[in-house]
Structure 1
Amino acid sequence: MLRKIAWAMAAKNSQEMIVFTMIQMLTFFITQSNYNSLNIAEGGTMKTVGAVGLSLALVCAAGHAAVLPNKAAEPLVSEANVLVAQGKYQEGIAKFQEAAKADPAASVPLAGIANVLFKASFNAKGDAAARLRQQAESVARQALTLGADDPLAQEVLRNLTDDKPAPLHMPNQAAWKAMQEGEVLFQSNKPEEALAKYDESLRLDPLYSTAEVNAGDCFFVQKKWPEAEERFRKATEIEPLNGQAWRFLADALGWQGKWSAYETALFNGVAAQPNQLPTWDKLASFRNKQGYPLTALNLKRRSRVVLDPESGKFTIKLDSDFTGAGKQVPDGALWLAVAQYEINARSKNQQEKVADQPFAIEVQAWRAGLAIIDETVANGGADISDPALLNLRMLAKDDQLEAGLMLLAYRESWRAEFEAWKTAHPDGIRKFVNTYAMRP
């Protein structure tokens, strides 16, 4: 959820006006979905609770990378946040739309819309849910054209594209209800009253680390840095895999000038959740100021393996850049080889009735594909040219392909292998970044 807007100062850069042609369609998808209401009641399912929990407290004021709204749009965003916290999604969408019209250059209203659509998809069914998710992705990507590092838009995309949710604690209904009541108060600029609700949530479920994060936020917005640090740190102790807790802890440390601890907290955030781009953004900004910039791998998936539920067979979806006449370039050949290996491995597992090991398949698929390219080049053929693919080949030659994929292209289905890798390489993430100066 968008946080701290009421306390953040928006340093606005003038940008071209952008016509949001899809915004007019958003309310249609909300109102036409085949479910009764988007308002989340006390008796909502735990699935809904989890969906909402993914997006609470996503944006921190310190080092804010979104394009914040101007003075005309800011109060509209604040009103939208309150409505969303109350579970009034349709009204929230409408307020975000007003904010987007008041400030077409701001990324925050669009990110807010994308977040609401993502939440709404968990209450929809069938095609309606799919449409909401598609629209959430489209609007999030549009937000990123305005604010390239908008944290909320990044997190919406991560949650939409990852193959599993992060293994965070699911709160009980009573704790979640108290949390939502706290959110309404927080978004209404009542941090002290919100804190009481967050503490109540923690009493009802002491393992609910997000409630501790939000409690820390109440101190953060009042610039009580030591108190904020204490609560954020406690959240990391409750749940070390809460990447957001580490990121917020870093913010509190940064405001106190504790820069070594700041960087350590960010590395711990990467260790918790490697595909949370806001954490990498902060680490990259810090390293850049120290004179050690990080280069983004920027690996975009150009082939996908899809299972047909009716036939039970796998098919490959290859990027259209590689499917037309004269477009069979080496980059496309590599992506095709990677997908073909995955099909062969998963088909074999299917026949033998054994579970897939996603990370093992991914690593071997890349090794097989890169070997084909190397053989082609050795025989006088053309080489790959995409910098991301070239960097992956470099990592493979350095015997760092596993580390590179885990840190730069992480999926939650790789969690077991990632935890094992961290155990075997206690300082592996920092060493990788120091050696290769790369990020997702």
Structure 2
Amino acid sequence: MRGGVRVERQLRRLRWKLTAMFTAVTVGCLLTLAAVTATLDRRAEERALDADLSTRTAAVALTACFDPAVGRITVDDDSADSLVLGRPYLVVVVDWSRDPAGAVVYPARAPLGPPDLGALRGLRPRVGPGDRPVLTDLAGPSGGWRAAVVAVPGEGPVNAGMVVLVGDPAPVREANAELTRRLLTGCVVLAQLAAVGGYWLARFSMRPVVQALTRQEQFLAEAAHELRTPLAALLLVARGGLAHPARRVDAMRDTVRLADRLGHLVTSLLTRARLQAGTQRVDLVSMRLDQLVEQVVEDLPGADAVAVRAAPTVVAGDPDLLAQAVRNLTENALRHGRPAAGAAPVEVTVRDGLVEVRDHGPGPHRVGHGSAGTGIGLSIVRWVAELHGGEFMLVEAPDGGALATLRLPGAAARPTRA
């Protein structure tokens, strides 16, 4: 009992460890996916902002030109205002012939606040000839800005000034932060679902282990029960022979009989263990079932107390396993059967893929209660039947006793009684 409790605790700890590992791996994957998604979204939004700034800066630059008559840059005010209307942008037109303090800002009420004139002067070395905007970062009073700069040609090779379109990336950052929060919320929910799913997955995947351990404990309990009685009887017979020299011959006979019984019992135990472990191969061959049953019964001690009625029957099966099953059924019937008046204690019938073993004992409801030598043997028979795709049944005969039926594929669905 203590061993079973200890194993159950170990299995419970293992189940929780598997659940924790599954949840940790899932959370790691979810966080990685969330981080990659947020990063890709931020980069995509930043590229979209840069593309919009470049397009609008080029459009504003088309409305700005150097007028030699007045010696300064002129801009179509309506066009400049309309290009930034409703957006967190501002246009700054800087004329090098004038003090940067006189830079023109569109719209007049800039949504981003006044630009840093020192920062504007620092952009001059970055502006080269041509009409392609240059993207750069720009310091502003409310944080970092993104700017697109394009030169305004003047007379000769020297630029007359520049057009700067400034955009605030704060909305992009806020949208990305909101996406990140939603992704993290989803990760938390999915992590909880993963923990629940991992627990049930671990429980389901460990079910074969639990079943194997249960079968092992059952096997050990049955083996101890099966071996205890014959070993005790063997010890009692041996001590009796030592204590009474006149009974040594009888004691030796009983010792041989008990040793033979133990040998068959150990063989049954090993067969069942191999079947459960999957190391026992099932080699199906075409064979005469009636001849196999007759040979098995003939080799049994007490075969004269068994009546065999066999019709020619061909089945596909493993001769060794089927012989073991028939031997277990017959030995069990001989051990627990009670002879009826004028009838053989055990009747074995073979027909249509059926092996029926009938005894006249107390019936199947009494077998195994207070008697040794039945649990392992009958469980072997059931395993053999399942391995052959057949069926094993143990029922009470109509007029008393037990009726054991081993049905192999191709046999009648309903067992017949001898």
Q: TM-score range by the shorter chain?
A: under 0.3
Q: Which has the higher strand share?
A: 2
> When the two structures are superposed, what TM-score results if normalisation uses the length of structure 2?
0.19
> When the two structures are superposed, what TM-score results if normalisation uses the length of structure 1?
0.19
Q: Which has the higher helix share?
A: 1
